[in-house]
A = this chain, B = another copy of it.
Amino acid sequence: MPTLLLNKNTVKELLDMSEVIEAVEQAFRDWVEGRGRMPPKSYILLEKGDFRAMPAALPGAVGIKWVSVHPQNPSRGLPTVMATLVINDPDTGYPLAIMDGTDITAYRTGATAAVASRYLARKGSRSLGIIGAGRQAYTQIEAHVKLFDLREIRAFDLSKASVERLIKAFPGYPVEESSLEKAAGSDIVCTVTPARWPFVKREWIAPGVHINAIGADAPGKEELEPSVLNGAVVVVDDLEQSRTSGEINVPVSKGLFSMKEVYGTLGEIISGRKPGRRDDKAITVFDSTGVAIEDIAVAQVIYEKAKHRGGCPSMNLIE
């Protein structure tokens, strides 16, 4: 029985944002309803970077993402984040596929934010603010245009060149360069920066705005003034991860925000255990740290597509 080997190009070809959105939404539903398994991420911190082991199981799927983050890589011509995914048969353990996980990570992050927007943003949202025009900005736009009829996509970055690249990548979409303040004034705001200080000011955020806070994914990182969180409907992907490494980690550690103020998890909202947005004037915030069920759900879709398409390289790993 051969194990499929799917490199970055093959995975990219097989990724379809609409399918990814449905897969991550179902993964959160399965998880909160007890049909998934996800032990905590484990970390190995080394001198030049770190490694994270992210195993998870969902109905009919089990696997692991092994992902590394090395900030000095770009100077060596390598991406900062690299990931390898293994998908196994839950009934036998057989490794069904080994695939590059870099684009899966970017797609599932964009898709999860868009799913959060689906439940938390106002129905008639027409403008999207993208703060930070790096790698993650692309999939935020790709995912949100699937679910919203956007008239304006306002992109801000400290690097003008990054904004120009982003605009060029979306011909036919209303992406435009924006000030930070104007981007933060959009109906839906996605913060996708590596910031370690709360540069998004409370005064810029209008009533009714939904914010996807994506950038903070490690202790000490934050993007929003803590006062944005106070009084907002704050939804997290994983309570423990958000507390220790998400957008809320610094405010919680400083006593400026309490875990009791968290409204709920994305899974609870998707499954209907807690209602999503009920008030057009509320500010909603989704604190995304990234969880393994998202990766395994998407990798399983890619594996099934690769198997049915045929012609992918494979090897007999076990025999």
Q: Which residues from chain A sit less than 8 Å from chain B, CB to CB?
A: 5, 7-9, 37, 39-40, 42-49, 51, 53, 55-57, 62, 64, 66, 68-70, 73, 76, 78-79, 82, 84, 86, 88, 90-95, 98, 100, 102, 313, 315-319
CB atoms of B91 and A48 under 8 A apart:
yes
Contacts of A88 in B (CB 8 A): 51, 66, 68
CB-defined A-B contacts under 8 Å, sample of 5: A7-B315, A42-B55, A66-B66, A79-B318, A102-B318
Q: Which residues of B sit under 8 angstroms from A5, Cβ to Cβ?
A: 5, 315, 317
Q: What is the oligomeric copy number?
A: 2
Are B78 and A82 in contact, with the CB atoms below 8 A? no
- A8-B318, A37-B46 are contacts. A94–B66 as well, Cβ < 8 Å? no
What is the CB-to-nearest-CB distance from A77 to chain B, in angstroms, rounded to a whole number?
10
List B contacts of A44 (CB < 8 A).
37, 39, 55-57, 62
Measured in the bound complex, the distance between the Cα atoms of B68 and A95 in whole Å is 9
Partner of A319, one of B7, B93, B98: B7
Collect the chain B residues with CB atoms within 8 Å of residue A98's CB: 84, 98, 317
CB distance from A20 to the nearest CB of B (A): 20
